[in-house]
Amino acid sequence: MANSHKRDTDARKPRAVVVAGPLAALATAGAVTLGVVGADVEQAPVTSLLSAPAPTSTGSSVAGAGDVAGTLSRSSSLSRGSSGRADAQADEEEVEEPRSLSAVEKVMRPKAVAKRIKNADAELWTTAPLNLWLEPGKKADKTGEVSAGEKVTYTGRDMYGRQEIVWKKGETRWVTAGSLSEDEPLTLAGDCTNGTSVPSSVAENVKLVHAAVCANFPSITTYGTWRVGDGGDHGTGHAVDVMVSGELGWQIANFLRDNYADLGIKYLIYSQQIWSLERGGEGWRGMSDRGGATANHYDHVHVSTF
């Protein structure tokens, strides 16, 4: 009986090993499954693991974990592929179709500007203070000014009411069309070189008129200022007569009219015509006949100043 009992005890030992083996495998499979799925798969209770059927010889429990992992991998790959296509589509939508250049953009291309600068050879003069613009057109930015009487090089290009001039090395600027001239303009600056003068007691504006006319028209050598007994501007030292006739007289008269503000001129008379600041918008106006060449101002330009 003792031997028989020993054999029964020994016989049960292998069976315990057999049971423990499936449980270990099942626990291992559970751990693998939990490791792959993570937080997305609910952890099975321990009792369900102990009561679960033993895995078959094909290892279906482990294979199930692999299927889950494979499904997640394919899902993630599909998700990334879909996202990649969406991003590529968004990038394609953001890419703008190339647009054609405007007329101003074509004119201002660096190669076009460089070519114009290289071939520019027209030396002109500014006839008034002018604004400088980066390009033609109403939307251009102003970059400065150029004074009247400045010598500039014209590129030959006109556009939208402006003309292009060479400004600095590799750069051009645009000025108001019609403001450049082939003739050097008359300016108020300069020295009187013909030896003429006016009395020091006359008004300052009379002195300015004399200096301007003498510097620009040195052929004029006779000026009349004070006139004894004159009840007008000659009697107060505020007038000067520039003794000249013909076309040259008109050049001087118009030169003085153009610079009336700087010279402090009130009105001008020449060839029986009068221009006054008070009625400047009317230009030169005709006067009644006073009976002679001098009385009608055919032999001199009369200048009255403030």
Q: How many domains does the chain have?
A: 3
In a domain, 171, yes or no: yes
pLDDT at 306: 97
189 burial via Cβ count (<10 Å: 0-12, 13-18, 19+): exposed
Q: Looking at the domain assignment, is residue 170 inside a domain?
A: yes
- Same domain (yes/no): 277, 299: yes
pLDDT at 92: 57
End-to-end CA distance of the chain: 154
Domain end (from 39, 66, 94): 94
> Do 130 and 170 fall within a single domain?
yes
Beta strands across the sheet bearing 265-270: 223-224, 239-243, 300-305, 265-270, 273-276, 285-286
Q: Is 87 inside any structural domain?
A: yes
Contact 103, 156 (CB under 8 A): no
Judge whether 99 lies within some domain. Answer: no
Same domain, 51 and 76: yes
Strands laid side by side in the 122-126 sheet: 142-146, 130-133, 171-176, 162-168, 151-159, 122-126, 180-181
Q: Which of 181, 213, 244 is the last residue of a domain?
A: 181
Domain match, 257 and 277 both: yes
15 in any annotated domain: yes
* Residue partners of 293: CB distance under 8 A and separation at least 6: 299
Instruction: State the pLDDT at residue 98.
Output: 74
What pLDDT score does 39 carry? 42
Burial label, 39 (beta-carbon count in 10 A; 0-12, 13-18, 19+): exposed
Q: Tell me, yes or no, whether 61 lies in a domain.
A: yes
**Contact status, residue 284 vs residue 260, Cβ threshold 8 Å:** no
pLDDT at 10: 47
Same domain, 135 and 166: yes
- 120 with 210, same domain: the answer is no
- The overall longest dimension of the chain from CA atoms, in Å, is 176
**pLDDT (tens digit, 0 to 9) for every residue of the chain, 306 residues total?**
444 444 444 444 444 444 445 444 444 444 444 444 444 444 444 444 444 455 544 444 444 545 544 554 455 554 555 555 555 565 555 666 678 999 999 999 999 999 999 999 999 999 888 999 999 988 999 999 998 889 999 999 999 999 999 998 889 999 999 999 998 877 787 889 999 999 999 999 999 999 999 999 999 999 999 998 999 999 999 999 999 999 999 999 999 999 999 999 999 999 999 999 999 999 999 999 999 999 999 999 999 999
Instruction: Say yes or no: 165 and 234 in one domain.
Output: no
**pTM of the entire predicted model:** 0.49
Question: Which of 46, 69, 94 is the last residue before a domain boundary?
Answer: 94
Kindly state whether residues 226 and 297 are assigned to the same domain.
yes
Residue 89, pLDDT score: 60
Identify whether residues 213 and 300 lie together within a single domain. Answer: yes
Q: What is the pLDDT of residue 152?
A: 95
DSSP state of 54: P
Within this chain, do residues 209 and 281 fall inside the same structural domain, yes or no? Answer: yes
Domain membership of residue 100 (yes or no) is no
Q: What angle is formed at CA 297 by the lines to CA 198 and CA 257, rounded to 5 degrees?
A: 65
Please provide the average confidence, as pLDDT, over all residues in the chain.
Answer: 80
Instruction: Give the structural domain span for 51.
Output: 2-94
- What's the rounded Cα separation, in Å, for the pair 136 and 142? 11
